Amino acid sequence: MATPADEPIALLESDSTPDASLITRPTIAAVSIKLPPYWPADPTVWFAQVEAQFNTRNISLQKTRFEYIIASISPEIAMEVRDLLIRPPTDDPYDTLKTELIKRTAASEQRKLQQEKNSAIANRLSCSDGCNSS
């Protein structure tokens, strides 16, 4: 015959609640990450490097990734996406920033290359035969 003292034990054994030691609670941990300098000559490669760091540190939230990028880019690059910094997108902020940085800095880099090319052509056209002599 079971005594009242035995009943709680019997109830605990039949309870389907998992053992408290097996329950994992979400933790928040500070993650230190130093991103490489932004590379406007090939932003796609830069983002591949950055995303590798995000993945190895389990940084997957769009907002967190967005903030890491913003914190790491130079003022010159930040000016290319100034509108996104002032009013961050509410939907997929990291993906939006990535797309716009690639598009805008590639266009900016292309303009610089075109200006350098035009300048070199202008120099050759305006130079007399003696310009390149040693």
Note whether residue 53 is domain-resident: yes
> For the chain, how many structural domains are there in total?
1
Query: What CA–CA distance (Å, rounded) separates 5 from 81?
Result: 70
Note whether residue 51 is domain-resident: yes
Instruction: Specify the pLDDT at position 32.
Output: 81
Per-residue pLDDT at 14 exceeds 50? no
pLDDT (mean) for 86-91: 96
Per-residue pLDDT at 93 exceeds 60? yes
Per-residue pLDDT at 86 exceeds 70? yes
Query: What CA–CA distance (Å, rounded) separates 53 from 98?
Result: 15
List Cβ neighbours of 60 (8 Å cut-off, separation of 6 or more).
54
Note whether residue 61 is domain-resident: yes
Note whether residue 7 is domain-resident: no
Q: Which residue has the tokens 């920033």?
A: 97
- H helices of 1-134, in order, are 6-14, 43-56, 62-72, 75-80, 82-86, 93-126
Note whether residue 3 is domain-resident: no
Note whether residue 2 is domain-resident: no
Note whether residue 42 is domain-resident: yes
0.75 surpassed by pTM: no
Q: Which range of residues forms the domain containing residue 61?
A: 35-126
Instruction: Specify the pLDDT at position 126.
Output: 73
Note whether residue 108 is domain-resident: yes
